Structure 1
Amino acid sequence: EPSVPSLTDIRTRVREKFGQRPCLWQLQAVQAILRRDKDVVCIAGTGSGKTLTFWMPLLFRPDGIQIVVTPLNILGEQNTRELQQNRISAIALNKKTATLRNMRDIEEGKYRAITVNPEILSGRFENLWKNVQFTQRLISITWDEAHCVSTWGDFREEYREAHRLRYIIPRQIPFYLPSATMPDVVLNDVMRIL
């Protein structure tokens, strides 16, 4: 397992690649993800820069893949455009784009950043989880707007089933749980579900 970069290393690399100066909490979140010894919860306000933390780990794992589970397809498409502008291979999977060809490209490692809704994740990814070459490259699985795992579970069954992933993917792949709104009762529920 590669060593975890220092806060200074992360700050420098992020500035070079994304042209942004990350805050201390962003640097610490990325260190925690790259340490790969536990899940990471990040509660920070809307517009504070949580999204940048999804992609920062890619700068330290040259062959690494990040999966971001997003409740809204439009967020995934937006993220993908920004990543492509920064020369990071990215795809937003939804009903239209989850084609056999795109799934094969993902399996072959063509994309380093994958945004996907929970429905596609629980359906089309079954074969990917069995592919050791693919799962070895996974840095983390991010549950964007993590409070949705709890609050949307009643009408998006796939959120309630998210814990199944724990039994399928290698244990050292952390879940990253960013949210702007996660009171203790919701956080406890999310942790119980996942």
Structure 2
Amino acid sequence: MPLGSPHPAPTLVEIRAITSSAFRRHPRLWQAEAVQQAVKGDKDMVCIAPTGSGKTLTFWMPLLFRKDGIQIVVTPLNLLGTQNVKELASYGIQACDIPEGRYRAITVNPEMLIKDGGGFEKLWKNDAFTSRLISIIWDEVHCISTWSEIREEYKPEDAYWPCYLLPKTPFYLKCPPKRSP
């Protein structure tokens, strides 16, 4: 589905070189292609890859190519969010300071994102903020269906409401492949 105005995307060679320099990791072709699409910002994306394959790197790499861009990562586990913040800090990327307006990446659990009066509804109405969004990433998105019975915010009708509020913002859904029984 067409979303916001596409941004110029770097070449795959540029993505690999800049990522290697900034993050000291050489991205695989599939990672570079995912980032190229994320930077364009004109389509939603789904990434299905095994645990440990480098899915997380694909949602930090776009920050290297959209210098004013912001990524929001919705993660079901607070530990994953904390790990993401620490990793980004080690690369000099401010992970979250919302009140001061200094942030490039925001990690949040679904409860905080969806909570009435939680503050995000003000951000969704702030054009200066939403115009900087690269994408909203749902990490471990498979948990929405498997955890919805024990976590109210994981009910699909609640979890996907930002899609309706931000129709021009790409969503990036990330999960491991389904295991065979």
TM-score (norm 2): 0.88
2:174 aligned residue (171, 174, 178): 178
1:127 aligned residue (99, 122, 126): 122
Counterpart position of 1:162: 159
User: Tell me, what secondary structure is at the counterpart of 1:45?
Assistant: coil
Q: Deviations over 1:69-91 (max 9, x none)?
A: 00000111011111001000013
Letter in 2 for 1:141: I
Q: Distance in 1 between matches of 2:178 and 2:126?
A: 34
Q: Distance in 1 between matches of 2:93 and 2:82?
A: 14
CA offset at residue 17 of structure 1? 0.3
Letter in 2 for 1:139: I
What 5-or-longer segments of structure 2 have no aligned partner?
Answer: 1-5
Q: Distance in 1 between matches of 2:53 and 2:163?
A: 29
* Structure in which a larger fraction of residues adopt helix: 1
CA offset at residue 144 of structure 1? 0.3
CA offset at residue 143 of structure 1? 0.3
- Cα separation, partners in 2 of 1:33 and 1:147, compared to 1, 3 Å: same
Counterpart position of 1:112: 104
CA offset at residue 163 of structure 1? 2.0
RMSD of aligned residue pairs (Cα, Å): 1.4
Pairs within 5 Å for 1:14-93: 14-91=19-96
What 5-or-longer segments of structure 1 have no aligned partner?
Answer: 92-101, 184-194
Provide runs of 4+ in structure 1 moved above 4 Å. Answer: none
User: Tell me, what secondary structure is at the counterpart of 1:166?
Assistant: helix
Tell me, yes or no, if the aligned pair for 1:147 and 1:181 is still in contact at 8 Å: no
TM-score (norm 1): 0.82
Q: Distance in 1 between matches of 2:98 and 2:150?
A: 26
